[in-house]
Structure 1
Amino acid sequence: MLKLYRRKRDKNWRIRGTLFRCKLEESTGTADRPQAELLLTARITEITQRHVKGAVLGHRPSPSFAEAVVSYIEKGGERRFLLPLLDIFSDRPIDAIHQEEIDGAARRLLPGRSPATLNRQIFAPMSAVLKSAGVETKIRRRKEVEREPRWLTPKEAKQLVDACNPSLRPLVIFLVYTGARVGEALWLDWRYVDLSRAHVAFPRTKNGEPRGLPLHPEAVAALAALSHREGEIFRRPDGLPYTRPDDEDEADTSAGSRIARAFGAACRRAGIEHFRPHDCRHTWATWHYQQHRDLLALKRAGGWKSEAMVSRYAHVNSENLRAEIEALPSLKSG
């Protein structure tokens, strides 16, 4: 049976219990007892009507969240991050899951985590499963504060490369001169690099579309100096490949974490602050735009889905237009 209760330090009444095998745990959003009782009655009526339509009138009931997840995966959906959500929503009818409950799941599963993490591990997979099941409820995601692209000048980049340990140095050179995402580079196999043609192919990318790219001479030189020619190109100091993400570990999502300690140490030795491994991609994009002033070419080369995603590189490079602006004709006489 469904009933009202209050948590310690929470003024609002909550609904909890099971009715017709439908588990419910949600806030009423009100501290007023009569109002909460009205909402409780409404939820009991809603669940009862759904049960009557399915069990008594023969209408096909909505699938449970667990059934919707199975269907979603069978259609090729991404299964990662779904297991903790299944523990919470398993038996709930898919059309009975609301925003407030998903917000509650986010607070319960990932307290204090960033909006980007919550969106990636909670709101995006929930939205995908609901959409796959034909539920039109729009799931609001957490607003992310976009960080301004951090990039290095060529002088700073050289300082960073020089400060890297021997195993990290070729990887950083590769990242700076290809704009590869860390995960695209970290497990790149030699099969996809042709040093004679100075070309690299990325068969698996974030947007799902493979892409190829010419290699800068410095990247070719860095790769050519490596002693092995099979398997993963980039290796740890012990010569072994970097460990791949653990599909069973929902928190293991960042390729950059594999090199974070060594990368951070190199930045400190180089005197470079607030620079992450992914910022090598920003550096490459900034340099690319400075040279070519072509957002479409940058979009294709970097594997972005839209021009909006690369337009920020035009803004951060506005200072590089100073010489061209100052070279415009003067209106002063003589």
Structure 2
Amino acid sequence: MLKLKERHGSPYWYLRGTVRGISVDESTGIAIASKKQAEEFKARRENELLEESIHGKRATVTFSQAALSYIEQGGKQADAYRLADVIKHFGTTKLAKIGAPEIHAGAVAVFPTMQPASRRTHFYIPVSAILTHAQKMGWCDEIKFEWPAPSDGVVRWLTKEEAHRLIDEGKHIQALLTFLFYTGARISEAMDLQMQDLDLDRAHVQFIDTKNGTSRGVPLHTLVVEAMRRYFAVYRHNGGDVFRREDGQEYGHEAKASDRIKTVFKKACKRAGITNFRIHDTRHTWATWHYQKNRDLGALQKLGGWKTLEMVLRYAHTNVEELGDTIARL
């Protein structure tokens, strides 16, 4: 059977031993000071292994175990927003007991105030990735469930006059807003941008390991170069994060990228008289401007880092002024 062991240097109890031929040498994740809790964990684990020896691993693998395996093997959703909360929700629930009702209930429980499209991104996609991994490992059958419908693709964007009015009211994030409006960067790409990846002399920026798991380079508009030179004249730093707090210190990466500047951005929008506009909409604005001037969806897709051409078609659908003469001929 299993025994609790202390491993040198580890703050947790370890389980070692054999149950019906199944060898175990694993951390309990329970602190040394909590031996009673560790004893209870040991008893549960012995029962699980006994069940596994009789019915096979399919009957015993939990969501947490599947998630850990997925993360250790470098799954694309390993860094998903609040993935720890998703894993905590299902916890030691066996995969065999997770179906569509449990998944839908979990999405609401973990993200109660999110819109369906956001739940799709932050809950259904990572859960599906973990369950697909578990299926490939032979730990469960395919679990079928319907995802919330994707976003309807409505694009909120600003005119040049509106955008520059917002930039002017941005205070210490003026350079950041200029950068977002004229590069099409995701807010996470901008907030995590490092000094070594920005080259003002070459008028070029590179985004490393982006949301899509790839890197890309983007030429810098002259307005961005000028704004960044003014910014660095005030906030001088030789390395680390490019965009920082008003006091020149780094924001830190604990909070979601958009949350780090949420307050100052909302105040800037209010001062500029801009309503119903999110920080993510700066990317929509840049894409809309680019398509209006170039009518080149392929270039837009490459510069913006979208995976498929279908993802940029919304900007063609938004910009139909060039078709006005076809209506006039009716």
TM-score range, shorter chain: 0.7 to 0.9
Q: Which amino acid aligns with 1:305?
A: K
Partner Cα distance (1:132, 1:241) in 2:
37
Conservation of the 8 A alpha-carbon contact between 1:123 and 1:139: no
Q: Which digits, 9 at most, give the CA deviation of each residue in 1:92-127, with x for residues without a partner?
A: 332331111122223333334322343334322221
Could you say which residue in structure 1 is the equivalent of 2:186? 181
Q: Structure 2 matches for 1:171-250, cutoff 5 A?
A: 171-225=176-230, 226-227=232-233, 228-230=236-238, 231-244=240-253, 246=254
Rg: which structure is higher?
1
How big is the shift at 1:200? 0.7
Give the distance between the partners of 1:235 and 1:52, measured in 2 at CA.
Answer: 54
CA 224–294 in structure 1, closer or farther in 2 if over 3 Å, else same = same
Identity of aligned pairs, percent? 41
Aligned to 1:177, the other structure's residue is in SS state helix
CA 1:219 to 1:103, structure 2 compared with 1: closer, same or farther past 3 Å? same
The CA RMSD over aligned residues, in Å, is 2.7
Check the 8 A contact 2:166/2:269 in 1, yes or no: yes
* Partner residue, 1:154: 160
Q: Which residue of 1 aligns with 2:106?
A: 105
Deviation sequence 1:305-327 (CA, Å, 0-9, x none): 111110000111112543x658x
Aligned equivalent of 1:302: 304
- Aligned residue in 1 for 2:96: 95
Structure 1 residues 265-311: Cα deviation after superposition (integer angstroms, max 9, x where no partner): 21222221111111111111011101110101100000001111100
- Give 1:154 shift: 1.2
Structure 1 residues 291, 125: closer, same or farther in 2, change over 3 A? same
Provide the C-alpha distance between the structure 2 equivalents of 1:189 and 1:83, rounded to a whole number of angstroms: 26
Alpha-carbon contact 2:58-2:96 (below 8 Å) kept: no
Alpha-carbon shift at residue 55 of structure 1 (Å): 4.5
Is the partner of 1:212 in helix, strand or coil? strand
**TM-superposed deviation, 1:210:** 0.4
Q: Distance in 2 between matches of 1:73 and 1:264?
A: 35
Give CA deviations for 1:178-204 in whole Å, capped at 9, x if unaligned.
Answer: 000111111211111111111111113
Correspondence for 2:278: 276
For residues 290 and 131 of structure 1, do their structure 2 counterparts lie closer, same or farther at Cα, with a shift above 3 Å needed?
A: same
Alpha-carbon contact 1:53-1:61 (below 8 Å) kept? no
Separation in structure 2 between the aligned mates of residue 91 and residue 159 of structure 1, nearest angstrom: 52
Aligned-pair CA distance for 1:235: 1.6
Corresponding residue for residue 293 of structure 2: 291
The one-letter code matched in structure 2 to 1:70 is L
2:217 aligns to what SS in structure 1? strand
Q: How many angstroms apart in 1 are the aligned matches of 2:91 and 2:260?
A: 33
1:121 and 1:279, CA in 2 relative to 1: closer, same or farther beyond 3 A?
closer
The residue that corresponds to 1:315 in the other structure is 317
Report the counterpart of residue 14 of structure 2 in structure 1. Answer: none
User: How far does the alpha carbon of each residue in 1:57-92 deviate from its partner, in whole angstroms, 9 at most, with x for none?
Assistant: x64544232321221122113065444444443433
Q: Distance in 1 between matches of 2:182 and 2:85?
A: 39
What secondary structure does 2:123 align onto?
helix
Question: Structure 1 residues 260, 64: CA separation in 2 closer, same or farther (over 3 Å shift)?
Answer: closer
Give the conservation status (yes or no) of the 8 Å contact 1:234–1:241: yes
2:84 paired with 1:75: no
* Unaligned residue ranges in structure 2 (runs of 5+): 1-48, 136-140
Q: Does the 8 A contact of 2:291 with 2:316 survive in 1?
A: yes
CA pair 224-153 structure 1, distance change in 2 beyond 3 A? same
Secondary structure of residue in 1 paired with 2:218: strand
| 2:37 aligned partner | none
**1:79 and 1:132 mapped to 2: Cα distance?**
16
Cα distance in 2 between the residues matched to 1:173 and 1:206 = 21
What TM-score comes out, normalization by structure 1 length? 0.73
Q: C-alpha distance in 2, partners of 1:282/1:70?
A: 35
C-alpha spacing 1:208/1:224, structure 2 compared with 1 (3 Å): same
Give, as a single letter, the amino acid of the residue that structure 2 aligns with 1:237. Answer: E
3-state SS of paired residue (1:275)? coil
2-structure distance, mates of 1:90, 1:263: 37
